[in-house]
Amino acid sequence: MSQNTDNTPGTADDFQGLVADWSADKETFAMPWGKLMMWIFLLGDTFIFGIFLVGYMAVRMAAVDPWPATEEIFSMTMFGHEFPLLLIAIMTFVLITSSGTMAMAVRSGYMGDRRKTVLFMAITALLGLTFLGMQAYEWATLIFNYDIRPWGNPFGAEQFGAVFFMITGFHGLHVLGGVIYLTIIARRVHKGVYENKGYSIVEITGLYWHFVDLVWVFIFAFFYLL
């Protein structure tokens, strides 16, 4: 079958190319449908997190009591010293590292190296679990040492605890979901399910994982730096 070159999506890279992509037949984006579906899902998920964060800002502005001084709450005492944001810095580091290992999994997948793909996906999942463990530790500290609850805390506006637990909790659920998703896909890669279908599924899983990391960066900025 002959192909009209202007007609092939993704072949040109200027504005004309964009127009050509959108006016092509068969498909609009030169990618497997699963990847596009993940992109669209993430767009919707961006709206969820975006609205959460906008809600957070609105609540913070509307609160009548003063907002708690977060640099005190989020510091960690080690060897008799106060290290502000230490735990958070480690958590962020872990998550960003996991993005790196995920990228390597995707690369190994496309190179057809099944063993390495599974290995890197497993490492990614483990890093994700580490992150969750540290988050659980942080929650426990806030709850038991600082007495911060969703309905109130000794430091000021009660909305602080509410938004903090809600948004980090929602993000944590995303990480948990990601870990489960990674495990399932890694198992299937291990079994060789994708030998014929191709390994774009690893990249799709990676998209989700990178997104969860990216969202964390925003949450980090909004909660710990503001």
Partner 1 sequence: MTHVAIADQPEEEEHHPTSFIAKYIWSQDHKVIAIQYTIVAMFVGLVALVLSGFMRLQLGFPDTFSFINPNTYLQFMTMHGMIMVIYLLTALLLGGFGNYLIPLMVGTRDMVFPYLNMLSFWMYFLSVLVLLASFFVPGGPTGAGWTLYPPQAILQGTPGADWGIVFMIASLAIFIIAFTMGGLNYVTTILQARTHGMTLMRMPLTLWGIFTASLMGLLAFPALLVSAIMLGLDLLAGTSFFMPALVSLGEQLDHTGGSPLLFQHLFWFFGHPEVYIVALPAFGMVSDVLSTHARKNIFGYRMMVWAIVIIAGLSFIVWAHHMYVSGMNLNFGFFFATTTLIIAVPTALKVYNWVLTLWRGNIHLNTPMLFAIGFIFTFTHGGLSGLFLGNVIVDVPLADTYFVVAHFHMVMGVSTVMVLFAAIYHWYPLVTGRMLHEGMGKIHFWLTFLGTYAVFLPMHYLGFLGVPRRYFSMGDTAFMPESAQTLNASISVFAIIVMVIQVIFLVNLVWSLKNGPRAPRNPWGATSLEWQTPVMPPAHGNWGHALPRVHRWAYDYSVPGAAEDFIPQNVPQEGSGRPDDGGQEEVKA
Is residue 201 within the footprint of partner 1 (CB under 8 A)?
Answer: no
The shares of helix, strand and coil residues in the chain, as percent rounded to the nearest 5, are: 70, 5, 25
Give the residue, chosen from 24, 123, 182, 201, that forms a contact with partner 1 under the rule CB under 8 A.
Answer: 24
Of 207, 209, 221, 216, nearest in space to 40 by CA:
207
How many angstroms separate the CA atoms of 181 and 208, rounded? Answer: 9
**Residue 48 Cβ vs partner 1, minimum distance, rounded to whole Å:** 4
**Residue 190 Cβ vs partner 1, minimum distance, rounded to whole Å:** 19
**Residue 135 Cβ vs partner 1, minimum distance, rounded to whole Å:** 19
How many angstroms separate the CA atoms of 210 and 204, rounded? Answer: 10
Q: Which is nearer to partner 1, 27 or 138 (CB)?
A: 27
Rg for the chain, CA atoms, rounded: 22
By three-state DSSP, how is residue 152 classified? strand
Residue 131 CA: distances (Å) to CA of 36, 50, 134, 187:
28, 22, 5, 22
How many angstroms separate the CA atoms of 9 and 23, rounded? Answer: 9
Give the residue, chosen from 11, 12, 17, 31, that forms a contact with partner 1 under the rule CB under 8 A.
Answer: 31
Span from 57-65, 81-89, 99-107, 113-121 in contact with partner 1 (CB under 8 A): 57-65
Give the residue, chosen from 40, 78, 217, 221, that forms a contact with partner 1 under the rule CB under 8 A.
Answer: 40
Binding mask 117-156 toward partner 1 (x if CB under 8 A, else -) reads ---------------------------------xx-----
How many angstroms separate the CA atoms of 119 and 7, rounded? Answer: 40
Name the burial class of residue 170, with classes exposed (0-12), middle (13-18) and buried (19+) by CB atoms within 10 angstroms of its CB: middle
Give the residue, chosen from 22, 83, 93, 137, that forms a contact with partner 1 under the rule CB under 8 A.
Answer: 22
Give the residue, chosen from 41, 83, 93, 137, that forms a contact with partner 1 under the rule CB under 8 A.
Answer: 41
Is residue 65 within the footprint of partner 1 (CB under 8 A)?
Answer: yes
Give the residue, chosen from 63, 76, 86, 134, that forms a contact with partner 1 under the rule CB under 8 A.
Answer: 63
Tokens of 32: 């497997």
Is residue 93 within the footprint of partner 1 (CB under 8 A)?
Answer: no
How many angstroms separate the CA atoms of 198 and 65, rounded? Answer: 56
Residues near partner 1 (CB under 8 A): 1-4, 6-7, 22-34, 36-37, 40-41, 43-45, 47-48, 51-52, 55, 58-59, 62-65, 150-151, 157-159, 161-163, 166, 170, 198, 200
